[in-house]
Structure 1
Amino acid sequence: MHFRPMRLVVKRYQWVHVTLGLIGNLSFFIGSVLFFWESWKNVGIWLFVIGSLGMLIDTIGSAIVKYEKEPHHGR
């Protein structure tokens, strides 16, 4: 029997992946809207950066999930 830590993480913590994607997208959107007001531009920049990082993490998570769910993987 092989211990598959990544498979365990993917199976048990998919909600983490979804939550990170949601937070990233929401931050990205709010940050983008805040660019319209000069007084909120710095907050918008940081939310934009945080959102972009969240979207990157979401994409990496999606790739890991897809890789772990492939039928030939882990045999």
Structure 2
Amino acid sequence: MRKQLESGRYNNASEIVRAGLRMLEDFEAERERWLREEVPARLPELRQDPAKGIPVETVFSRLEARYHAKQAKAK
């Protein structure tokens, strides 16, 4: 938070918190849209050719790597 204030982008901590909450709401809305629209639309294709799927272990490994990269970047 200190970096954001020092950069001059925000005037106070409340602005930073509000911006963070808006970003979280946008992310959640996009995730819900993806789950409702895109995932079901791809299901028939995956049923026809299961080889197009990604193993769950690979998915979790990629997610974990992205999480760690974001944590490192935030420091």
TM (norm. structure 1) is 0.42
Ranked by relative contact order (alpha carbons within 8 Å, sequence separation 6 or more), the top structure is 1
Larger Rg: 2
